[in-house]
Amino acid sequence: MPSTVPSAPIVTDSIGTERRTHASVAPITSQSASSWRRWLVLPPSDSPRPLRDDLAVKLLVRTAERPADVLELVRKHRASYLRHLSRLNRRRARLEASSGDGVATRLLLLQADVRVRSDLAWLEIVEKEVQKLDARGGAGVTKDAPRR
């Protein structure tokens, strides 16, 4: 892990396929260098992260009303995660075939793999629960938040 501020510009955005990527590059400013130094020593937070997963939000709103739509969303998310897992596996295979050390890269790819597999397992649970709900005709569902 670098302990100093990078001297070269940082890639801020990447668009395209694995073979052809167009990246946006941002220069290092004194403000971003200061932020980088603070971030390096920042301890992990004990507070939970805010919910940002769009599927989770859609589940909160639509599960009781439209279980078939939720099941379709789950299928689409699963397909997306499986494509991502496939890309990770190809990247790991290329890394293993290369002659470089790449310990940090290997660990980051492993972390991404574990997260994707965890999300896939969660999608399986969601699918089973929504299927049970759908079989009961939506009975027994409580609304957690009042409608506005």
Residues 37 and 91 in one domain: no
Write the DSSP string, the chain. ---S--SS-EEEEEEE-SSSEEEEEE---HHHHHHHHHHHHPPPPSSPPPP--HHHHHHHHHTTT-HHHHHHHHHHHHHHHHHHHHHHHHHHHHHHHSSS--HHHHHHHHHHHHHHHHHHHHHHHHHHHHHHHHHTTTTT---SS---
At residue 25, the pLDDT reads 67
What pLDDT, on the 0 to 100 scale, is given for residue 140? 45
129 plus 59 within the same structural domain: yes
Tens digit of pLDDT for each residue in 63-102?
777 888 888 888 888 999 999 999 999 999 998 888 777 8
Q: Same domain for 59 and 131?
A: yes
Domain of residue 67 covers: 54-135
pTM > 0.85: no
Residue 111 lies in a domain: yes
**131 and 103 belong to one structural domain:** yes
Residue 15 reports pLDDT greater than 50: no
Q: Is residue 31 part of a domain?
A: yes
The more confidently predicted of residues 45 and 72 is: 72
